[in-house]
A and B are shown apart, each in its own frame.
Chain A
Amino acid sequence: MNCDDCRKMISERAAGELSPEQTSEFDTHQQICAACREAVRDWQQLEVSLRSSWPSEDPMVPFFLPTAKVKSNWAHTVRSWVSAASTAAVAASLLLLVIFRPSIQYDPHQLSVNFSRANSRPTTTSPVEAVSQAQVQAWVQAAFEQSMAREQTRTQFASQPASNSPSDEESRKVAQLAVQMEMIKESQTALWQQVQQHGVYLQSAWLGSSARTAPDQNSGTNRQ
Chain B
Amino acid sequence: MKPTETDRQLVERVLDGNAEAFNLLVWRWQRQLFNFLLRFTGNRELAQDICQEAFLQSYVRLKDLRDKEKFVSWLFRIAVNLCRSEQRRPTLPMQDAAEPDGIGQMPGQIRSDAREMQLTLRCLIARLDPELRKVVLLRVFHGFQFDEMAIILDSPVSTVKSRLYRAFEEIRAGLERQRPPSAS
Contact = CB atoms under 8 A, between A and B. Distances in A.
A9 B108 CA distance: 32
Contact of B145 (A15, A54, A61, A62): A15
Interface of B: 17-20, 22-23, 26-27, 30-32, 34-35, 38-39, 44, 48, 51-52, 55, 59, 117-119, 121-122, 125, 136, 139-141, 143, 145-146, 161-162, 164-165, 168, 171-172, 175
B121 A63 contact: no
A60 B19 CA distance: 22
A57 interface: yes
A17 B23 CA distance: 32
10 contacts: A12-B146, A46-B168, A51-B140, A56-B35, A56-B141, A59-B34, A59-B48, A63-B52, A65-B23, A69-B19
Given A47-B140, A49-B117, A42 B172 contact: yes
A8 B146 contact: no
Contacts of A56: 31-32, 35, 141
Contacts of B35: 56-57
A59 B168 contact: no
A216 to B, nearest CB: 76
A54 B121 contact: yes
B38 A64 contact: no
Contacts of A139: none
Interface residues of A, number: 30
A68 B17 contact: yes
A43 B165 CA distance: 10
Interface of B is mostly: helix
B31 A58 contact: yes
A62 B17 CA distance: 22
A11 B163 CA distance: 12
Contacts of B172: 42, 46
Contacts of A47: 140
Contact of B23 (A52, A54, A60, A64): A64
B84 to A, nearest CB: 21
Nearest to B23: A64
A43 B118 CA distance: 17
Interface string A44-87: 00110111111011111111111111000000000000000000
